[in-house]
Chains A and B, each alone.
Chain A
């Protein structure tokens, strides 16, 4: 597959690494915008990852078993007056995929995720 680092597209790798970073910080569950904002910071981009690319990548990662997801408690969203968030977590398979990507490519070749 084109553009992949050991089976992962750059944006997929960025999402998984972001998920691991959130876990280390003590909040393993993350939502789309949170991941997008973190990737934007990490890549020092002025743009956010596009929705088209972000949610497709999250969907692919979940189908491959690299992420699990669930809706947040509806009452929390209701109390805060906003739409419900879909919360994602990196699975052991996702961690394995990151490790494999790191083994497959030298550190310099692990590209930063594009904004689109």
Chain B
């Protein structure tokens, strides 16, 4: 196993330890062992397939990064066992949205001010602070959208579309970014419509 892949898997194990902390021991140990076994199997499989190191690391990194919102939703949901199933689901989503917004504001402000100061000192425009602010919001929307996508694909896709809009606005001067943002919007909206038309019935 290459060092970079080991680092990604190590980071993932650390993340699992973090979000399972405070859970009942059996449940936490089960999740940690399963993810550790999965990481080991992935590395063994990659060795057997003779895949390029970059490909394997990308696979592991993407699986890790895209799974973190679901992990947060899952963990928040476990804290609401006293509620009935539908209420727990609603509460999990609501908690994630609130968490996202609570995180978004200071993060966006921090990067906004940082970007503004850096750009002003570099002789750049004030637009940079607004762009970094939007980028932080976009990241948060993406995080929440991915977290919701599993159970609420239409709502998740809408947030991902809004993320695309933020990216397009914040990088408006770049035709490539606008094209990327526009494509993201159209794709997410199409995905939402497709999902709805395929039995995605709102509660």
Residues of A close to B36: CB separation below 8 A: 83
A22 to B68, CA, bound (A): 28
Please report the total number of A residues contacting B with Cβ < 8 Å: 38
Residues of B close to A48: CB separation below 8 A: 42, 59, 63
A99 to B137, CA, bound (A): 43
Residues of A close to B12: CB separation below 8 A: 51
A27 CB-CB contact with B under 8 Å: no
A5 CB-CB contact with B under 8 Å: yes
Most buried by B among A1, A85, A114: A1
A32 to B149, CA, bound (A): 21
**Taking A2-B200, A5-B199, A50-B70 as contacts, is the C-beta distance between A56 and B150 under 8 angstroms?**
yes
- CB within 8 Å of A: which of B22-36? 30-31, 33-36
Residues of A close to B31: CB separation below 8 A: 55
Instruction: Tell me whether B45 and A33 are in contact (CB under 8 A).
Output: yes
Instruction: Tell me whether B37 and A31 are in contact (CB under 8 A).
Output: yes
Question: Contact mask A72-116 → B, CB, 8 Å, 1/0?
Answer: 000001000011111000000000000000001100010100111
A77 to B70, CA, bound (A): 28
Instruction: Tell me whether B199 and A116 are in contact (CB under 8 A).
Output: no
How many residue pairs at the A-B interface have CB separations less than 8 Å?
114
**Taking A56-B70, A56-B74 as contacts, is the C-beta distance between A2 and B153 under 8 angstroms?**
yes
Q: Which single member of A50, A82, A84, A105 contacts B66 (CB below 8 Å)?
A: A50
A83 to B201, CA, bound (A): 40
Residues of A close to B201: CB separation below 8 A: 1-2, 4
A107 to B59, CA, bound (A): 30
A21 CB-CB contact with B under 8 Å: no
Q: Which single member of A37, A82, A104 contacts B45 (CB below 8 Å)?
A: A37
A82 to B43, CA, bound (A): 11
A-B contact pairs, 22 of them (CB 8 A): A1-B201, A2-B153, A4-B201, A9-B150, A32-B37, A33-B38, A46-B59, A47-B66, A50-B63, A50-B70, A51-B12, A52-B66, A53-B67, A56-B70, A82-B37, A82-B41, A83-B33, A83-B37, A85-B41, A105-B199, A109-B198, A116-B149
Residues of A within 8 A of B (CB): 1-6, 9, 11, 31-34, 36-37, 46-56, 77, 82-86, 104-105, 109, 111, 114-116
Other than the known A50-B66, A82-B40, A84-B33, what 10 A-B pairs have Cβ atoms closer than 8 Å? A1-B151, A1-B201, A31-B37, A47-B66, A52-B74, A56-B74, A82-B41, A104-B199, A105-B198, A116-B146
